[in-house]
Amino acid sequence: MEIDSPTRKIIHVDMDCFYAAIEMRERPELVGKPIAVGGASGRGVLTTCNYEARKFGCRSAMPGFKARALCPDLILLPVRFDLYRYESSRIRKIFDDFTDLVEPLSLDEAYLDVSHLDSEPSSIAWEIRERIRNEIELTASAGIASNKFIAKIASDWEKPDGQFEVKDEDMLDFLADLPVEKIWGVGKRTAEKLHASGLKTCGMIRERTELELVRRFGKFGSALYQLCRGVDERKVNPNRERKSVSNERTFRENLTSVEEGEPKLDELVDELIEDLSGRHKERAIRECVVKLKFEDFQVTSAQRGLDHVDAGVFRELLAEAWARGEGRSVRLIGAGVRFHSERKGEVEQLEMF
């Protein structure tokens, strides 16, 4: 099997520099100027920046002082999560008008499964983007494919404010010359290992057997073998009632230090508090958990018994989990709480962790 089922129609919608775009919409005088959100303190990092700032080399997760050195005229704005969450909820309502199968990855991106609709997925993606433009006054990019992996890569192909579809019959050709750095989950160190093995593109990886890849890269070798052939069996999983509440974020560029991870975790904890203040406010918390996924896809989690959310405790758990990486960079951070079971004798577990 070289590709996923052609009956699946997956759209990955990714907002364009979401936080910065909202700030420019709210303050039109900022349009055309290099701006970034976050990073105001000495140890702070950028949450996002607009395309004018990116021209100077600024990027998300970059320390604020370094961004200022690259772009002296950079305008640094404070993070306004309440506003960003509100706009994200408006965008989610647009998604829900098209399908119940929506899997948010963060405030600014989500997978949509529109396989049940008769329209062409490219037309659906275009309509979604037009509604976001007209109703939210922001732009979004989209990737369309028959699986999540390819759709996510494709959404970055025509940024900003564009869309790109990879049809099944074109998938292997699309992947053949794709640099290994574009494979989701391949960070700097993994890319260096791949290059050292003479593997610079997905096409080159396809020349190796799965056994060879596993021997060289461990479990991640199996993932490489499948992904470079366009195989991704994961389904789009919509939100559902859980015995826990958690959120997580996978980063476009791996984080290399716990100091880089702390502000990312703080964002997740803020979102977690917001989630808990809604429909889950009556649930009794029994444990706080931090999850990390390292560059080689190895996962670890640290937890502590606690009946409330404490940002300081979450940072301590982050440091505990990070120390297990032994120098490996981190591609994903998650934060969550486990509830006491409301059913006597029921096994308590954190579904996302």
Q: What is the pLDDT of residues 235-266, one digit of tens each?
A: 998 854 457 888 888 887 899 999 999 999 99
Q: Is residue 139 part of a domain?
A: yes
Last-in-domain residue among 128, 143, 171? 171
Q: Is residue 91 part of a domain?
A: yes
Q: Distances from the Cα of 350 to the Cαs of 4, 87, 218, 247, 309, in angstroms?
A: 29, 28, 26, 11, 16
CA atoms within 13 A on the CB side of 296: 17
**CATH classification at residue 284:** 3.30.1490.100
329 shares its domain with 295: yes
Q: Is residue 204 part of a domain?
A: yes
Cα 279 to chain centroid, rounded: 24
Q: What angle do CA 171, 176, 182 make, to 5 degrees?
A: 90
Q: What is the pLDDT of residues 195-232, one digit of tens each?
A: 999 999 999 999 999 999 999 888 889 989 999 999 98
Beta bridge partners of 303: 289
167 shares its domain with 184: no
Q: Is 20 exposed, middle or buried (0-12, 13-18, 19+ CB in 10 A)?
A: buried
Q: Residue 337: pLDDT band by 50, 70, 90 thresholds?
A: very high
Q: Is residue 236 part of a domain?
A: no
289 shares its domain with 335: yes
23, 103, 109, 295: the catalytic one is 109
Q: What angle do CA 152, 154, 155 make, to 5 degrees?
A: 70
71 shares its domain with 136: no
Annotated active-site residue 109? The verdict is yes
Residues 70, 32: Cα–Cα separation, whole Å: 17
What are residue 344's phi and psi, to 5 degrees? -60, 130
- In 3D space, the residue among 326, 323, 314, 253 whose CA is nearest the CA of residue 285 turns out to be 314
The mean of the pLDDT values for the chain is 88
Last-in-domain residue among 154, 171, 188? 171
- In 3D space, the residue among 307, 311, 309, 304 whose CA is nearest the CA of residue 267 turns out to be 311
Q: Is residue 280 part of a domain?
A: yes
How many separate domains does the chain show?
4
Q: Is residue 349 part of a domain?
A: no
103 shares its domain with 62: no
Q: Is residue 232 part of a domain?
A: no
114 shares its domain with 149: yes
333 shares its domain with 262: yes
Q: Residue 349: pLDDT band by 50, 70, 90 thresholds?
A: very low
- For 309: left if phi > 0, alpha if psi spans -120 to 50, otherwise beta; the answer is beta
Q: What is the pLDDT of residues 250-307, one digit of tens each?
A: 887 899 999 999 999 999 998 888 778 766 667 788 899 999 999 988 889 999 998 8
Residues 89, 136: Cα–Cα separation, whole Å: 11
248 shares its domain with 329: yes
212 shares its domain with 265: no
Does residue 2 register a pLDDT over 90?
Answer: no
**CATH classification at residue 53:** 3.40.1170.60
152 shares its domain with 127: yes
Q: Residue 346: pLDDT band by 50, 70, 90 thresholds?
A: very low
**CATH classification at residue 131:** 3.30.70.270
251 shares its domain with 334: yes
250 shares its domain with 330: yes
Q: Is residue 102 part of a domain?
A: yes
Residues 62, 67: Cα–Cα separation, whole Å: 7
**CATH classification at residue 179:** 1.10.150.20
Pairing of strands 299-305, 285-294: antiparallel
Last-in-domain residue among 47, 79, 111? 79
Under DSSP, is residue 273 helix (H, G, I), strand (E, B) or coil?
Answer: helix
Domain assignment of residue 303, given as a range: 244-339
H or E segment and range at residue 127: helix 121-131
Least confident of 51-55, 188-192, 267-271, 311-315: 188-192
Q: Residue 162: CB partners within 8 Å, gap ≥ 6?
A: 141
Q: What is the pLDDT of residues 150-171, one digit of tens each?
A: 999 999 999 999 999 999 999 9
Q: Distances from the Cα of 183 to the Cαs of 109, 201, 205, 319, 326, in angstroms?
A: 18, 9, 11, 27, 23
Question: Peptide bond before 160: cis, by omega within 30 degrees of 0?
Answer: yes
